[in-house]
Amino acid sequence: MRIYQEADYEAMSRRAANLISAEVIRRPDCVLGLATGSTPIGTYKQLTVWNQRGDFSFKEVRTVNLDEYKGLPPTHDQSYRYFMQTNFFDHIDIDVANTYVPDGLAADPDAECARYDELVRSLGYADLQLLGLGRNGHIGFNEPCGSYVKETHVVDLTQSTIDANARFFASADDVPRQALTMGIGCIMAARRVLLIASGADKADAVYNAFCGPITPACPASILQLHNDMVLVGDKAALSKLVAAGVAVCG
């Protein structure tokens, strides 16, 4: 595992964008696994700047998103399809037909999960999977539980996740209670995993994920077993790793 410590959120975002753009330049038709939430917004903004400047193209890239809220249409301003469009896809030269997000309105959510698993498998899984990290150690919407779930599945969101996402909705009551999420198997099948973390409120989660035991009680801890894992964080998020003596690159 490689760990990059950056001074702040902006530097973290640039480092992550550099790693993603290098993948696109090296393999123009690569498959990118993408994440939502506040943490990757800076990364998407930096990639947009470089793409619009002509440094590289997303025309042949295919993307698979980690998750989607159950019950939200793609036009809802808090759906993850809407997030990806407004924060990234609408501003770059990607073919939107090659961007995939689970269908939160599927009449049969279990069938949709199976369909999405097959889609990701048919693409050969992600060449690079971008991840954020929940305060409770979740990746995608794989919440702390008694066992890892390999396949894409419907998950009940924990109260801590609902509380963390409430800032994006009018109230906590408006946050969906379920989501469709890519399973641990699909995430771990990616050729490379890039996890980004920012802020002191993520320091415990980062420490538990990479210094603690491998356990589904901290879903991100499974990443310790990935053979090409990159962690990029700012000083605040990595503070407890550094205090524990974990070697980082500056």
Q: Which of 112, 138, 153, 226 is catalytic?
A: 138
The verdict on whether 138 is a catalytic residue reads yes
The verdict on whether 10 is a catalytic residue reads no
The verdict on whether 51 is a catalytic residue reads no
Distance (Å, whole) CA 250 – CA 163: 33
Q: Which of 6, 23, 67, 68 is catalytic?
A: 67
Q: Which of 65, 117, 127, 136 is catalytic?
A: 136
Distance (Å, whole) CA 4 – CA 74: 34
- Alpha carbon 55 to its chain's center: 24
Kindly state the helix (H) or strand (E) to which residue 156 belongs, with its residue range: strand 153-156
Instruction: Output DSSP code: residue 222.
Output: G
Q: Are 135 and 160 in contact (CB under 8 A)?
A: yes
The token pair at 28 is: 């123009």
Q: Which of 6, 143, 165, 208 is catalytic?
A: 143
Other C-beta atoms within 10 Å of 57: how many?
14
The verdict on whether 67 is a catalytic residue reads yes
The token pair at 6 is: 């950056």
Q: Which residue has the tokens 């009680």?
A: 217
Which residue numbers are catalytic? 67, 136, 138, 143
